[in-house]
Amino acid sequence: MINNETGEELKHWGPRPKMIQRMVDHYKENHTELDKHEFAKNLHVWYTRDKGMAMQDDLMEIMSTGMALKGENQLKMKESA
């Protein structure tokens, strides 16, 4: 999410939902010999079971942050008018 006025990055999403990113990071930290095929299979199972809910949660969080920021900016504009 980018602030249109300043170009500042307000929020970042990706490359995967936060929940699965924590799992990936944990796996990489704790497995010196990475079995990529087995881990990829587990990721696919997770995505199938999740049905996109984690991604929706992450995006809703980003959008709600954007709406809050928009509301703050509108309030500032009214106060300065």
Tens digit of pLDDT for each residue in 2-30?
777 888 887 777 778 888 898 888 888 88
Cα 49 to Cα 25: distance, rounded to the nearest angstrom: 20
In a domain, 6, yes or no: no
Count of domains for the chain = 1
The three-state secondary structure class of 81 is: coil
User: Per the domain annotation, does 11 fall within a domain?
Assistant: no
Domain assignment present for 5: no
User: Domain for residue 12, yes or no?
Assistant: no
Query: Domain containing 35: what range?
Result: 18-80
Between 77 and 68, name the one with better pLDDT: 68
Kindly state whether residue 73 falls inside one of the protein's structural domains.
yes
8 in any annotated domain: no
Tell me the pLDDT tens digit for each residue of 33-68: 767 888 889 889 999 999 989 989 988 888 887 665
- Please, how many CA atoms are within 13 Å of residue 59, restricted to the half-sphere of its CB? 7
pLDDT higher at 69 or 81: 69
In-domain check, residue 58: yes
Q: CA 27, CA 42: separation in Å to the nearest integer?
A: 11
